[in-house]
Structure 1
């Protein structure tokens, strides 16, 4: 194979020049060297330090060099690049890998200070604008894809600061501020503004943990995160999201006017989320809950997110003409034994009958009670909740056809059916149980009379009712009472399962 002697000689001269710049300060003083424009191509040594690995780096640069016995200054001209095959951080359980990096050093100045003391990382300074392109970045929290960065670098290698704009191939754009410390610690600040559905879709295509069933129609969010990686690999994260009038759908629940700030902290094996005032105009899974307000925090182990502690300062909402409230306090949910008490106050029975998808229902009166809710990996459960009507009671009207089917056709049950066509109650109370299959059980006690039955004689009724809540909510969602997006999502889910239903009123089960 023929040898290009000129190319070989050129490489030898470049290496000799670089070696001379490093050795001359040790050999002589009072000298200087100026190279208006050089052309240097060389392989760079691999780096393995504090969990970081940089391998397969090659430089192809065109610097102007000014050197003396004290220092050397490299001003890089356009087309000066450093190509790196692999940059990885392996010092944590969630490794970060950047592949095929191309760093453009145009308008960058590198200064080597021979006269200073300390390591070379403390004597080499960098300043200027850089452009970095990574063909692929891999991390458990990220969808593998290309990223790019444009910004400024300044400082010594041991204490370097990098500031600029980071962009994912999917379209997420964020401000980035990185500070390297001499002890090997790294501090990273990231901030971004998200507006509208396009930005949300970009997030979903960038982060693996993004909820698949979350869509946003309007509003904005300013998000930020502060990450600190200690010299021994310990990771601490502080995040914040400021929401402004966000409207959208999560799974089969629509929400509007979501506003407020949510703060999150990750340290060691524990996570904390807190809010100083999160509000929503409405949250609607089928029956709307409005004027939602929450102030409090939640802390849990990362490995057991449902086994944490909920600290409530304020949690209330309006519901069916009345209110829902969680009393202030701290609720321990560890082991699935914790209960969050939800207080119901002055719920309108008339409003409840209006939203229920059945014909022939009617009523009046106000209901209050307490429903203890628990959470587990199986879902939501309620045990021995209680609700009762406020004095002086009210009226209850239930459809005769379904009552006949439920209670049977004997003469005694006929009296009950007739009574419940226009039942004036003084007492209405019930226990409430809800299991993880979605079955709601009501043990209902009624005391009162129907003026048109047996001369209005007093009647005491004990009735056991069961309701399939998921099926009920599905019926409400298909009726369009939530919004079109939820209706369409539910319809597609039912089509996929072969259980499509047509929206409309259903009789009481």
Structure 2
């Protein structure tokens, strides 16, 4: 038995090498015990086709127990393997790790001397490990530190790692990894966090997280499994569960979002599925909701935005009526994308209530179709139509506001007088909306007004224009969304030198 203290490690390494490679070693009757040894050594850099590791150093405190059956190395506190840098050259997906430290405390390595398998199959590793990365850089991530605490187990040729991964930003995930040398690497990552905490942590982790998206309520659960085999594309399955999530995206608030988003990557094809997605309300100034979505999407992994979107359900309540996109498929590779939006039983009374003009009143319900033309970030409408449901209704519009909107002439005076109390049987409208935000309505009204021409039938044709971005800004400043949206609008107006008036 070797006493405590320093030990001639060069001699020990030579001895172990002989034991591992001499076929007759397991037939000899011998034993060896080192209660505690210390070793500090700088190792040469390692460079392969894909990786380069520099500044490698080992600080080891351990005990060694060996006989003709096995060699057992137990690492003790103070055992640490460090590398100044690890760099992978993978083109657009290159990875750079700075100051990596592997704490080997409580790890045991067992080498079976009696087997006939390869050394990596006869060498087993087990114990708790801690891996710290001072700074990790990747194109899809924001540079920051990471820490893994968990357990390693298995043969060197079939190694498993299981534990908890945490970023400096607070992102927390449970991780399971398995690597079979020459066969596959597989793993699973899962996290469950409050939406507000997760939103902040993810925003500080992902480079492409939308900067104007914030989450402030609800729960997020995410999990992803992957498998990588030699000379084969990555296979991935992931899911995101949402429960009662509230938040703000740019100048739009959403509340009580729930449901499942399922993703997969196989044979270089990306697939996404929206299941049971519900949103209580989406509000950019006028609330829409509840919203219900059910859809599938498939695209080439190399061009994820050029796939096929298949909608099974897309409905929303709006102004006491209903919006619907009928089940159909859309080819997102061909722009523009035409999306016909059907409108059912929209309440004219409710529409005039939310319009930011006092004194506008009306009754009746409207049906119609609004063909949305989506190209890039712009949305347009060409030749949309809306029509009142029989038997029609009534309009009461204040004369002063109408005069300001329509101008002054004898014909306009008649329209203004009639619309102060107009009983209509026909209300037809054409709808056009350009990419600059200008809404153009062509109204045709048929009916009568008791105070005009003795109640005789009157036909009115009116053309109206509305600046929708300005209208929404007015609604957002009036506090009809939430304070976060109102504050964002105020900041933008101040930056542009405009005055923030509701």
* SS state at 1:350 partner: helix
Structure 1 position 20 matched with structure 2 position 15: yes
* SS across alignment from 1:336: coil
Equivalent residue, structure 2, for 1:477? 476
Q: C-alpha distance in 2, partners of 1:395/1:223?
A: 52
- After TM superposition, list the pairs within 5 Å mapping 1:482-493 onto structure 2: 482-493=481-492
RMSD of equivalent CA atoms: 2.2
Deviates more, 1:87-96 or 1:141-150: 87-96
Distance in 2, Cα, partners of 1:366 & 1:26: 88
- C-alpha change, 1:426 and 1:25, in structure 2 (3 Å) is closer
Deviation at 1:390, TM superposition (A): 0.6
Please state if 1:453 is matched with 2:448: no
Contact residue 25 and residue 70 of structure 1 kept, 8 A: no
The 1-side partners of 2:377 and 2:257 are apart by 27
* Alpha-carbon distance in 2 for matches of 1:120, 1:47: 21
Unaligned 5+ runs, structure 2: 1-5
In the superposition, relative to structure 1, how do residues 304 and 418 fare at CA in structure 2: closer, same or farther (>3 Å)?
farther
Q: Deviations over 1:457-507 (max 9, x none)?
A: 22222222221111111111110111112111211121111123222xxxx
1:314 matched to 2:309: no
Query: Counterparts of 1:300 and 1:441 in 2: how far apart (Å)?
Result: 36
Q: Give the corresponding residue for 1:169.
A: 168
In 2, the alpha carbon distance for the partners of 1:271 and 1:138 equals: 25
Q: Distance between the aligned counterparts of 1:460 and 1:22, measured in 2?
A: 102
Deviations 1:36-68 (A, max 9, x none): 111122334555557444443221111111223
Mapped pair 1:416 → 2:415: yes
2-structure distance, mates of 1:405, 1:25: 96
Larger CA deviation: 92-101 vs 429-438: 92-101
Residues 220 and 250 (structure 1), Cα distance of their counterparts in 2 relative to 1, 3 Å cut:
same
Map Cα deviations across residues 429-482 of structure 1 (whole Å, 9 max, x no partner): 122222221122222222222121111222222222221111111111110111
Pair 1:117–1:98, CA change in 2 (3 A): farther
- Give the Cα–Cα distance (whole angstroms) in 2 for the partners of residues 496 and 381 of structure 1: 27
The structure-2 alpha-carbon separation of the partners of 1:134 and 1:458, relative to structure 1 and needing over 3 Å to count, comes to: same
* 1:122-159 deviation digits (Å, cap 9, x = unpaired): 33321100011111111112110111111000012222
Whether the 8 Å CA contact 2:233–2:268 is kept in 1: the answer is no
Structure 1 equivalent of residue 272 of structure 2: 273
SS in 2 for 1:488: helix
Residue aligning to 1:294: 293
Q: TM-score, normalised by structure 1?
A: 0.91
CA distance in 1, matches of 2:303, 2:471: 31
Query: 1:373/1:304 Cα in 2 relative to 1: closer, same or farther (>3 Å)?
Result: farther
What secondary structure sits across from 1:135 in the alignment?
strand
Deviation at 1:207, TM superposition (A): 1.6
Cα distance in 1, alignment partners of residues 439 and 15 from structure 2: 84
Q: Deviations over 1:315-359 (max 9, x none)?
A: 212111111111122222322133222211000000000001112
Aligned-partner SS, 1:415: helix
1:431 maps to 430
Query: Hey, what's the Cα distance between the residues in 2 that align with 1:211 and 1:116?
Result: 55
| Shift, 1:100, TM fit | 0.9
Return the offset for 1:406: 4.2
Cα deviation code 1:149-170 (max 9, x no counterpart): 1100001222211000111111
Deviation at 1:385, TM superposition (A): 1.8
* Residue 6 of structure 1: aligned partner: none
The match for 1:227 is 226
Q: Which runs of 5+ in 1 are unaligned?
A: 1-9, 504-509
Alignment pair present for 1:121 and 2:116: no
User: Are 1:309 and 1:330, in contact at CA under 8 Å, matched by a contact in 2?
Assistant: yes
Q: Secondary structure in 2 aligned to 1:200? A: helix
Is 1:193–1:221's contact at 8 Å kept on the other side of the alignment? Answer: yes
Post-superposition offset of 1:227? 2.8
Are 1:262 and 2:266 matched, yes or no? no
Aligned length: 493
Residues 249 and 378 (structure 1), Cα distance of their counterparts in 2 relative to 1, 3 Å cut: closer
